[in-house]
Structure 1
Amino acid sequence: MARILPIFPSKFIIFSLLSFLAIILVTGENHGFVRNLDRRLIGQIKKKEKLSHIHFYWHDTITGRNPSVAQIVPPVSNASATAFGAINIIDDPLTLGPKLSSKLIGRAQGFYALTSQEEVGLLMAMNFAFIEGKYNGSVITVLGRNPVFSKVREMPVIGGSGLFRFARGYVQLSTNKFNSSTGDAIVEYNVYVLHY
């Protein structure tokens, strides 16, 4: 009489092989809340890192019918020439050209604080949230110092999401137009970003 083997051992062997494979893919120590991963686990093995240049204009509108800036903390002193201590929340349009009527490609959402007593200097934290083409829904995050009246300023790209996952790089910005009586500004941005 032929003996039939139970199915259990084959399931056990498959489970053991899968467990072993998982151990191979996970590298380094596991502390319960942090573990090192192999890139293959998140689909990064086949993707090559690329360098992209993104060019747009940032419209910071403080006055008018539809301002894109809201001051949430006033300056320490109204007599301060640098507006030291003021904090503004922004939802600024990003356009292809310097005119506000140019094609909208995204929005800069975040805040800037006036952090210098010596010059007009900002601490800026913003997400460039893109809405155009294949980049719709992707974000680049910038955090850095912006000495407003310098001809060219530079801030780091500290991350991103969507098509800009694992982003790093820098932005260079220069003022295209500034209205000293209203504070409204149009700033040209060149973003150089490494991403997958």
Structure 2
Amino acid sequence: MARTSIMQELFVRVAIFIVAAAPLLRVSEASKMCNGGRLTYYVQVEIGAPNLAAILPPINAPLSGSFGQATVFAFNVTDGKSATSKPLGFVRGFTVETNYISGADIRLVEVEFLEYDDGRCKGTLQYQGVVTSQDSQLAVVGGSGSFRGVRGNVVVTVVSSNGNFRTYFHDVTLLT
């Protein structure tokens, strides 16, 4: 009888441990599924939509380009190219124009915050890097939720431009 009682107590302790650890296991599984993987989504942009901007004059007007114009932005993230496709979240952030040479291509330092939920992966990612008028690459500098502890990169490509509306494709590679 004593042996049965010890076995029952051991069984109860193991069951309590498993129940207590279950939330940690779910986070770990979600993190593994979303980290070390790839995300793709579209960002819907309306050019000229209300934003906050501050403009600093060029450092040396005859020689340097614009420097310091800052823009705060907020855009929707979708599953498909169409603005009416399934919403996955949003991006918020800011850019600061950093041109030095007058007449050169636009160069912006961008810091971006993505809140993402596709039903499988849910959390935030933070990006930063230089954005140009062509395709750009930004660094993934961290995340939360399913993306906790990630690093990686995102390649941003313009996929359509129609009047004041642009759609960008984000191809994100996540590393643990």
Q: Distance in 2 between matches of 1:52 and 1:60?
A: 26
Task: State the TM-score, normalizing by the size of structure 2.
Answer: 0.69
| Long gaps (5+) in structure 2 | 1-23
Q: Are 1:185 and 2:166 an aligned pair?
A: yes
- 8 Å contact kept, 1:126–1:141: yes
Instruction: Indicate how the Cα distance of structure 1 residues 95 and 75 shifts in structure 2: closer, same or farther if over 3 A, else same.
Output: farther
Secondary structure at 2:146's aligned position in 1? helix
The correspondence for 1:74, drawn from 52, 55, 58, is: 55
Instruction: Indicate how the Cα distance of structure 1 residues 99 and 74 shifts in structure 2: closer, same or farther if over 3 A, else same.
Output: farther
Q: Are 1:174 and 2:174 an aligned pair?
A: no
Instruction: Indicate how the Cα distance of structure 1 residues 132 and 61 shifts in structure 2: closer, same or farther if over 3 A, else same.
Output: same
Aligned to 2:83: 100
Shift of 1:185: 2.5
Secondary structure at 2:37's aligned position in 1? strand
Q: Distance in 1 between matches of 2:159 and 2:99?
A: 22
**Residue identity (%):** 21
Which structure has the larger Rg over C-alpha atoms?
Answer: 1
Shift of 1:83: 5.1
Say what the alpha-carbon RMSD is for the aligned residues: 2.8
Higher relative contact order (CA 8 A, sep 6+): 2
The correspondence for 1:153, drawn from 102, 121, 136, is: 136
> How many residues were matched structurally?
142
How does 1:1-196 map onto structure 2 within 5 Å? 50-63=35-48, 67=49, 70-74=51-55, 76=57, 84-117=67-100, 118-136=104-122, 138-148=123-133, 150=134, 152-178=135-161, 182=164, 184-195=165-176
Q: Distance in 2 between matches of 1:99 and 1:87?
A: 28
Greater helix proportion: 2
